[in-house]
Structure 1
Amino acid sequence: MEKGLLVGLNTELEKDFKESMAELRNLAHACHIEIIEELIQNKSMPTNKFYIGKGKVDELKLLIESLEPDLVIFDNELSPSQIRNLEKELEIKVIDRTVLILDIFARRAKTTEAKLQVELAQSEYMLPRVIGMYKSLSRQRSGTGSKGPGEQKLELDRRLLRNKIVKLKKDLQAVVEIRRTQRQNRKSSHIPIVSLTGYTNSGKSTLMNALIDASTNIKKEHVLKKDMLFATLETKTTNISLSDTKNFLLTDTVGFIKKLPHHLVEAFKSTLEEITEADLLLHVIDVSNPQYKKQIEAVDIVLKEIKAENIPTIYVYNKIDLIDDLPLLETENSIFISAENNLNIQKLLTMINHELEKNTKIVQLLLPYNKGDIFSYFKKNKSIISTTYEETGILVQLRLSKEEIEKYNQYIK
């Protein structure tokens, strides 16, 4: 494992500084970096040159000399000039929280889409930061005013990075079109979509597996569940079938985190679109985490950024098996569960059904006998209340969504 020093700046604006530093330590651990020391400065605002004050930079130099770490990690995203100045002054590799998160995403990415998204985010982060990376090359101008080899290499690398970003965006767009076609096909089937969202490591994948187990599907394909940050990057969708023929599609996407890099949100927009297309969100919360309220706020910020804040939501307080006393629920649409111990999963399914039914209406349809395909679809995917065989066709009473009522309007009696 590499050895690292953590550096944090506690400003008046940083309300959750201690939690942020603890989370940074966890991010470093996920990147196999052993943290040997922390340096903290209390200051009203960062400096333009070093982010921390010059006195703290000198203190950091002494720590580096005595502890001999491999790198220094800052809690907030540094500007290109701050990284350049710090590396020149400290003579050691300097990275920030964004680099750690990008590195974790790169390690976790498995599918083509996830790899493209991570590579795009990394390239866009690196583009303004390639300057200053060629100290060994001369930057002196010759008598004719031509650029030195360092500047030539810098311009070449910038051009290569820009070309790479253009190609990655093009490749990603091709994958995105396939995903959007699949999503459009799902929506045309009028099966409700329920999307899991929440802070990273809140138990979304464990909950997905618990709901799969509760489903009447013969084929049950479970997803990876692991106690780690960002265990799930790929979007996974499965059909949850209940005994009363009520079906919905359940999707799981990437988890969120405080200070989620903007590059990542932009690169993962196509994946996060799965959330915006949902009929219902299950916001999974690790209630055993003392900072769960702050985590809810962090998730809400990202949901607002991707314009998903107005989608109906059930707040699922998970991991109650790890706490002694349950907190008071602040929102009506909330439930305590333990996905690991399968506690209150059936109650949650009842809540899901209740929420999905809010956008539906009970109607009667008279289907001609030559429209047996529609009746077969209803039998397979809907909860039919009553069926009567009449002279002119099949009289069916069932619950349909607004879109389905419009689609089958000609048969409504």
Structure 2
Amino acid sequence: MEKVFVVFADTEKKEEEELEFLELVKACDFQIEAIFSQLLKSITLKTYIGSGKCLEIQEALQDSDISYIIFHQDLTPLQIRNLEALFHVPVMDRSELILAIFSRRAKSPAAKLQIESAQLKKMLPRLIGSNTQLSRQGGSGFNKGSGEKQLELDRRRIKSRISEVDRELKKLATQRKTQRKAREKNALPLVALVGYTNAGKSTILNRVLTHCKGKEEKKVLEKDMLFATLDTSIRQIQLPHGHSFLLSDTVGFISHLPHELIKAFHSTLEEVRYADLLLQVVDASSKQHNQHIDITMDTLRQIGAADIPMLIIYNKCDKTSYTHPQIQNHHLYLCAKDDKEVDYLIQKITETLFPEKKVEMFLPYTQYNIYSYLKEHAHILKEKQEEEGISICLYINDRIYKKYKDFIQKVFPE
């Protein structure tokens, strides 16, 4: 396990943010050897922290085998370069730490490419004078001529790789578009889990899946740590009375999520834009849960998904004084690890997605395919075989009502 120093330096003390950042460092499998804090009157342009704190870190480095010095804040390329020249140890800022976590957790080809794209775009501005070696004159090979500097050569290589990765991502985006159209043909509504990292999205997906008798192997990884899962997972959920919907688990959000990551994951996150319903999962036990809601909403606005109907799920209520389970309009209070409390969530999803009308339909035998569809997607109360077709009394949702209204003979009052 690599050893690191962690540096907190800001104009005001932010204890909750610092605790969260330490969890990020641990999530990257780093061992924290020492923590340095400084309350700044103003930021030092060259090194962000003051000269006294720089000297303190230098002295601590003499007796330590440190792989990285990690800053809680985002630093400029100039500050990183100056700090690395001073400490002779690689310096990592907040954005780079998050990118490193994502890089270690990525499983799917799409996630790996998205993170590589973000890392390359983050690296590019740092090339400027980042190493004296980059100022050497280049020779033959990839460069245009012997007069081209190594810096320009490296920059061109990175730009070339960025273009290559972006082309691959566009191909994957086209594949997702095709898959999305196939799902839309099945007329299954899409529900997307969104929210701050480690709020319990994966736990909720697994509980809903098992509650509705889904296959055990369809479960996703759930772990009490930041960014435990990165890849988007979609599962079909079969509800009682034949209703079905798709439930999607997405990457968690966090404050100051690197701009490069938002751009890189835009094509994945845009799946959220096509959801019929969003489930924003909130860690009710966090003192900053209201801030987490604001960060989630801000990220949804960035990807154009803020206007989709939403249920807010206050999870981990067993660690709070909230009464649970309970439903208050579009707010649900529960503990996702309690299977009985998941009933409330499934009930609310069903009411939201499938507001039902009781109707009577007549289907000619030539339309038997519609009858088969209704058996799977509607709640049939009774049916009668007649000479020219089937008479059915059933509950249907608005989507089915609009699709097969020509066959409806009677709508019962609510």
Per-residue deviation at 1:261?
A: 0.8
Structure 1 distance, partners of 2:299, 2:306, is 9
* Residue 6 (str. 1) matches residue 6 (str. 2): yes
Q: Give the structure 2 partner of residue 325 of structure 1.
A: 321
Matches within 5 A, 1:58-77: 58-65=55-62, 67=64, 69-77=66-74
How has the CA–CA distance of structure 1 residues 353 and 402 changed in structure 2, closer, same or farther, with 3 Å as cutoff? closer
Aligned residue in 2 for 1:262: 259
Any idea what the Cα deviations from partners look like across 1:14-38, whole Å, max 9, x if unmatched? xx72222222211111222222222
1:106 aligns with 2:103: yes
Q: Write out per-residue CA displacement over residues 161-201 of structure 1, whole angstroms, 9 at most, x where no aligned residue.
A: 11111111111111121112111211222211111112212
Q: 1:93 to 1:406 in 2, by over 3 A?
A: same
- What does residue 394 of structure 1 align with? 390
Paired position in structure 1 for 2:412: none
CA–CA separation in structure 2 for the residues paired with 1:51 and 1:365: 72
Which residue, 147, 158, 162 being the options, matches 1:161? Answer: 158
User: How much has 1:357 moved relative to structure 2?
Assistant: 2.9
2:285–2:320 CA contact under 8 A, matched in 1: no
Q: What is the CA deviation profile of residues 213-272 of structure 1, one whole-angstrom value per residue up to 9, with x for unaligned ones?
A: 111446762221122221111111111112221211111111111111111111111221
**2 CA distance for matches of 1:324 and 1:227?**
17
Report the CA distance shift for 1:404/1:47 in structure 2 as closer, same or farther (over 3 A). Answer: farther
Q: 1:137 to 1:296 in 2, by over 3 A?
A: closer
SS at match of 1:35: strand
Secondary structure at 1:62 match in 2: helix
What root-mean-square deviation, in Å, do the aligned CA atoms of Structure 1 and Structure 2 show? 2.9
The aligned length equals 403
Q: CA deviation at 1:103?
A: 1.0
For residues 310-347 of structure 1, give each alpha carbon's deviation from its aligned partner in whole angstroms, at most 9, with x where no partner exists. Answer: 222222222233x2522799963222222223241111
The residue matched to 1:87 in structure 2 has which SS? helix
1:116 CA displacement: 1.0
Question: 2:347 aligned to 350, 355, 358, which one?
Answer: 350
Change (3 A) 1:310 1:84: same
Deviation at 1:90, TM superposition (A): 2.8
> For residue 53 of structure 2, what is the aligned residue in structure 1?
56
Query: What is the rounded CA distance, in whole Å, between the counterparts of 1:343 and 1:362 in structure 2?
Result: 28
8 A Cα contact 2:211 2:339, kept in partner: no
Distance in 2 (alpha carbons) for counterparts of 1:140 and 1:276: 49
Range with greater deviation from structure 2 (399-408 or 3-12): 399-408
Q: Which residue of 1 aligns with 2:372?
A: 376
Q: 1:114 to 1:324 in 2, by over 3 A?
A: closer
Deviation at 1:83?
1.1
How has the CA–CA distance of structure 1 residues 137 and 105 changed in structure 2, closer, same or farther, with 3 Å as cutoff? closer
Distance 2:147 2:131 in 1: 6
The letter of the residue matching 1:370 is T
Kindly provide the CA deviation profile for residues 265-300 of structure 1, in whole angstroms up to 9, marking residues without a partner as x: 111112212222111111112223333232222222
Residue 78 (structure 1) shift: 1.4
Distance 1:374 1:281 in 2: 29
Structure 2 distance, partners of 1:104, 1:137, is 28
| Alignment partner, residue 178 of structure 2 | 181
Structure 1 distance, partners of 2:215, 2:15, is 47
**Unmatched segments (≥5 aa) in structure 1:** 142-146
Of residues 207, 211, 219, the one that matches 1:210 is 207
User: What is the identity, as a one-letter code, of the residue corresponding to 2:128?
Assistant: I
**Alignment correspondent of 1:144:** none
Superposed, 1:272-283 pairs within 5 Å as 272-283=269-280
Shift in Å at residue 73 of structure 1? 1.0
Separation in 1, partners of 2:354, 2:321: 33
Mapped partners of 2:181, 2:145: distance in 1 = 54
**Aligned residue number for residue 124 of structure 1:** 121
Q: Which amino acid aligns with 1:378?
A: L
Equivalent residues of 1:288, 1:320 under 8 A apart:
yes
Aligned pair partner of 2:230 in 230, 233, 236 = 233
Kept in 2, the 8 Å contact 1:138–1:150? The answer is no
Partner residue in 1 for 2:296: 299
Classify the secondary structure of the residue corresponding to 2:247.
strand
In structure 2, the residue corresponding to 1:82 is in which secondary structure?
helix
Query: Which residue of structure 1 aligns with residue 149 of structure 2?
Result: 152
Q: CA deviation at 1:396?
A: 4.3
Alpha-carbon distance, 1:349 to partner: 0.7
**2:240, 2:406 → 1: CA distance?**
30
Same amino acid, percent of matched pairs: 40
TM-aligned CA distance change 1:4 to 1:376, over 3 Å? same
> In the alignment, residue 179 of structure 2 is paired with which amino acid?
Q
Measured at CA, do residues 50 and 327 of structure 1 come closer, stay the same or move farther in structure 2, by a change above 3 Å? Answer: farther
> Mind listing any 5+ residue stretches in structure 2 that lack a counterpart?
139-143, 410-414
Q: Aligned with 1:76: secondary structure?
A: coil
Give the aligned partner of residue 287 of structure 2. Answer: 290
Q: Which moved more, 1:234-243 or 1:396-405?
A: 396-405
Q: Secondary structure at the match of 1:86?
A: helix
Give yes or no for contact 1:197–1:255 (8 Å, CA) kept in 2.
Answer: yes
SS of the residue aligned with 1:209?
A: helix
1:198 aligns with 2:195: yes
TM-score between the two structures when normalised by the length of structure 2: 0.87
